């Protein structure tokens, strides 16, 4: 009996050892938490986020260990403590070995709230208030240098336009980019032939645009991120950059690659995607224990590069030889001479092989045609990427706002009606929390496909953020728009999303409708009416379509009921 009892004890100990040594019980490698202060669709934070994720995966960190969160911290009325509690609950049970923050609000958020255990190292980007070197807070942190090379940009401006004396610096009234203005002032003082600089931080937005439009012939323009004007109005810097480039009649320079559109001459720009890639590479090395977490980690980072647009070089009669060394030229057509000059030189030197050279030249012409076709395809693809949402293939918010401005102008000129439909997927957060963000992304693509399939070819659909879509219905009054929206709502409800394992996920949407009115001078009242109607649809239980008339009717009904109760002294339900 004693021998049998001892045997059982030994077997249990052996089983326990096997469980401990089993791979299923092995510690899961620590992951990386990437915190973005903004919602989807803001160019610079999105560039940094994509670059960080790409570098992490290239260095062996699996997507299941990369936790990307778009916090939307700058949204008015955002409940930050509740957001912190939700994020902490979401990350419970996941080991985070390093945190990457993108912009100052995300850095302040993670340092203030106990989202992950104290002591987890933190790499910060675009955090203007972060001091140089290692900061020891709740999380020891290092800030990746992000400030653009203002001095190099001013030097290139002076080199390209030595005869010009004026400089208009486009900058907003927000103090978050005060270091950029300080760097500008310091660089101007150190120039042998400084510009006579004017800053727009004390102007309203419309005044700033007027200054851009009316610059004299001896002026240059430098655009730095513009977040708000003197009145406190907020703006998206990339949208302001587009507006400035469309109005500028003098050479326009920028400090960030995200603003390099066809109306910009160039500058020594900060490569925002490379900031993310550098952070992702450093994070992967830190997770593997290959680098110490100290200021030496940031040594040797090269994040600026001179970039110029080919079309603008031609406009201002500038040559490649005048540009800074190592300049990248954007939009330059393919050159047969640069690619195949050895063949041309060989043909001139070896006259005896004329017949062979004719064959080679014929081949060159074919390759040239192929190269030009490739350039056209690449330009078309680039234009598509600029104006479309990378996940759903729909237009993005930025391009939709431009289309809406055009439609508003057309309606004002010809009186042609149009309507907007604001669409939001119901309970989308539950889909993400229950099935994962990958499934959530596929649900977004499913809804986008149903919108394209159901609406007319002339209608325009855009994803404007998260699970929210905006539909533009030209030549459509509010009643017709309501019928179209109701038909779309029913189709989405009847066609749930089917996962790869055969499981069905029911999807419903709420929609708010607003029709154009003659008194709509700009898009803001129209968007607000659509958003208010969407809010009413959500408040009434979701999975429905509402418009402003329904909201007004419900308000009137509520007022009538209140008046009857006051006159009779009895509640209506009695």
Q: pLDDT tens for residues 256-291? A: 888 998 999 999 998 888 889 999 999 999 999 999
100 beta partners: 34, 123
Q: pLDDT tens for residues 534-571? A: 999 999 999 999 997 776 667 666 555 555 655 555 55
The percentage of the chain sitting over the pLDDT mark of 70, rounded to a whole number, equals 87
Determine the Cα angle at 192 with ends 167 and 314, to 5°. 50
Q: What is the pLDDT of residue 352?
A: 81
Read off the CATH number of the domain in which 182 is found. Answer: 3.40.50
Q: How far apart are CA 178 and CA 225, in angstroms?
A: 11
In a domain, 160, yes or no: yes
Of 100-114, 219-233, 255-269, 290-304, give the lowest mean pLDDT range: 290-304
**Which of 85, 119, 143 is the last residue before a domain boundary?**
143
- Would you call 166 helix, strand, or coil by DSSP? strand
- Which residue segment(s) compose the domain that 105 sits in? 28-143
* Whether 189 and 135 share a structural domain: no
Check whether 347 has a pLDDT greater than 80.
Answer: no
**Which of 210, 227, 255 is the last residue before a domain boundary?**
255
Greater pLDDT, 369 or 27: 369
Please state at what angle helix 336-349 crosses helix 354-387, rounded to 10 degrees: 180
Give the highest mean pLDDT range of 23-32, 391-400, 542-551: 391-400
Q: How confident is the model at residue 533 (pLDDT cuts 50, 70, 90)?
A: very high
Residue 384 CA: distances (Å) to CA of 38, 81, 331, 374, 496: 23, 39, 15, 15, 29
Q: How many domains does the chain have?
A: 4
* Average pLDDT of the chain, as a whole number: 86
**Which of 113, 143, 173 is the last residue before a domain boundary?**
143
Q: pLDDT tens for residues 56-112? A: 999 999 999 999 999 888 888 889 999 999 999 999 989 999 999 998 899 999 999
In a domain, 217, yes or no: yes
Read off the CATH number of the domain in which 126 is found. Answer: 3.40.50.2300
Q: What is the pLDDT of residue 557?
A: 62
In a domain, 528, yes or no: yes
Helix (H) or strand (E) holding 396: strand 395-396
* Whether 468 and 342 share a structural domain: no
Cβ contacts of residue 406 below 8 Å, gap of 6+?
A: none
Q: What is the pLDDT of residue 25?
A: 35
Is the pTM higher than 0.75? The answer reads: no
Averaged pLDDT for residues 219-238: 88
* Whether 159 and 55 share a structural domain: no
* Whether 413 and 548 share a structural domain: yes
* Whether 441 and 552 share a structural domain: yes
Q: How confident is the model at residue 16 (pLDDT cuts 50, 70, 90)?
A: very low
Q: What is the pLDDT of residue 299?
A: 82
In a domain, 298, yes or no: no
In a domain, 270, yes or no: no
Q: pLDDT tens for residues 33-59? A: 999 988 877 888 888 999 999 999 999
């Amino acid at each position: 009996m004693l021998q049998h009892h001892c045997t059982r004890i030994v077997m249990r100990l052996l089983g326990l050892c096997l469980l401990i040594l089993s791979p299923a019980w092995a510690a899961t490698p620590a992951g990386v938490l990437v915190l973005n202060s903004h919602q989807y669709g803001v160019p610079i934070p999105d560039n940094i986020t994509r670059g960080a994720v790409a570098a992490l995966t290239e260095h062996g960190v699996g997507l299941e260990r990369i936790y990307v969160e778009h916090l939307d911290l700058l949204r008015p009325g955002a409940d930050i403590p509740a957001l912190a509690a939700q994020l902490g609950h979401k990350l419970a049970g996941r080991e985070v070995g390093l945190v990457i923050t993108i912009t100052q609000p995300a850095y302040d958020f993670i340092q203030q709230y106990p989202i992950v255990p104290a002591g987890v190292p933190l790499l910060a980007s675009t955090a203007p208030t972060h001091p140089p070197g290692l900061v020891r807070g709740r999380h020891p942190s290092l800030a990746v240098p992000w400030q653009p090379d203002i001095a190099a940009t001013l030097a290139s401006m002076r080199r390209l336009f030595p005869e010009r004396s004026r400089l208009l610096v486009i900058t907003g009234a927000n103090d978050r980019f005060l270091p950029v203005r300080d760097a500008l002032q310091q660089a101007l003082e150190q120039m042998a032939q400084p510009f006579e600089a004017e800053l727009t931080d004390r102007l309203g937005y419309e005044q700033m645009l007027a200054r851009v439009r009316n610059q004299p012939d001896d002026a240059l323009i430098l655009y730095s991120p513009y977040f708000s004007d003197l009145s406190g109005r907020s703006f998206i810097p990339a949208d302001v950059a587009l507006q400035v480039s469309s109005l500028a009649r003098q050479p326009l320079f920028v400090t960030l690659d995200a603003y390099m559109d066809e109306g910009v001459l160039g500058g020594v720009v900060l490569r925002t995607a490379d900031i993310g890639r550098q952070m992702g590479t450093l994070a992967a090395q830190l997770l593997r224990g290959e680098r110490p977490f100290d200021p030496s980690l940031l040594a040797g980072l090269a994040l600026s590069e001179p970039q110029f647009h080919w079309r603008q070089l031609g406009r201002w009669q500038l040559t490649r030889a005048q540009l800074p060394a190592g300049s990248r030229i954007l939009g330059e057509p393919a050159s047969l001479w640069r690619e195949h000059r050895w063949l041309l030189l060989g043909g001139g030197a070896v006259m005896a092989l004329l017949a062979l050279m004719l064959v080679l030249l014929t081949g060159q012409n074919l390759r040239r045609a192929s190269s030009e076709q490739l350039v056209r395809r690449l330009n078309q693809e680039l234009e598509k990427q600029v104006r479309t949402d990378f996940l759903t293939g729909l237009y993005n918010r930025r391009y939709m706002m431009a289309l809406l401005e055009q439609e508003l102008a057309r309606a004002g000129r010809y009186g042609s009606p149009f309507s907007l439909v604001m669409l939001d997927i119901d309970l989308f957060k539950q889909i993400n929390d229950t099935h994962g963000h990958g499934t959530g992304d596929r649900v977004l693509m499913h809804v986008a496909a149903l919108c394209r399939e159901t609406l007319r070819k002339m209608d325009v659909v855009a994803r404007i953020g998260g699970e929210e879509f905006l539909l533009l219905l030209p030549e459509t009054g509010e009643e017709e728009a309501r019928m179209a929206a109701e038909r779309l709502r029913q189709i989405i409800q009847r066609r749930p999303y089917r996962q790869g394992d055969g499981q069905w996920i029911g999807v419903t949407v709420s929609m708010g409708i607003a029709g154009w009115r003659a008194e709509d001078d700009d898009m803001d009242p129209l968007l607000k009416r659509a958003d208010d109607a969407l809010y009413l649809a959500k408040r009434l239980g979701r999975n429905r379509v509402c418009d402003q008339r329904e909201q007004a009717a419900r308000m009137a009904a509520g007022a009538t009921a209140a008046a009857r109760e006051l006159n009779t002294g009895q509640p209506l339900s009695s």
